[in-house]
Structure 1
């Protein structure tokens, strides 16, 4: 079954990024937009080439997807579209620390959107 929450198209990424609402920390940059319809949380993941070869970048994307799955328990009701950009510091931390960093950003967005 296809995941209906994932944003893949470049023009959708650009719309959200150009909306200029961001939250950031040393590990992640989150661009977000609150659309008018009530579809729930939609997300896209971007990992730059500076973080390694294709194998490393795909591993990072898989880990971030798993983080999103755990966070969906608390934030699935948010009506936002989010682009998650991963920074270089991600590789120097473990999974749990990265998950905490991402959860902090989502909680800051949730406070602002409500």
Structure 2
């Protein structure tokens, strides 16, 4: 995932939390906010310290970025998407992480066309 498509600033995270919509499953929480002035979606990832040490947290973020990269063509543009990882993600593999992320995106109608 290219760096210009990532959310880095705290204000942007807070805007998604305050003004966006949210949905969750057992593993992940998604916050999303429509922004008409951008032509590509942007993602922000949050993995808390309660989930594990830095190695575990970075592994989860790497799996989420890889999942987004594979689903990139199917996701609607002009959205800011923030993903918060929950405790069960520390034992998940790539396929189950992608399946969980796809479930959230499908439920919130963030895919261009239904899968």
TM-score normalised by structure 1 residue count: 0.87
Unaligned runs of 5+ residues in structure 1 are none
CA distance in 2 between counterparts of 1:15 and 1:86 reads: 19
Tell me which stretches of 4 or more aligned residues in structure 1 moved more than 6 Å. Answer: none
TM-align CA RMSD: 2.1
1:45 partner SS: strand
1:56-105 CA-partner distances (Å, limit 9, x unpaired):
11111111110110110211x43210000000011233321121110011
TM-score normalised by structure 2 residue count: 0.87
Name the counterpart of 1:108.
107
More helix by share: 1
Unaligned runs of 5+ residues in structure 2 are none
Answer with 86-95 or 65-74: which moved more: 86-95
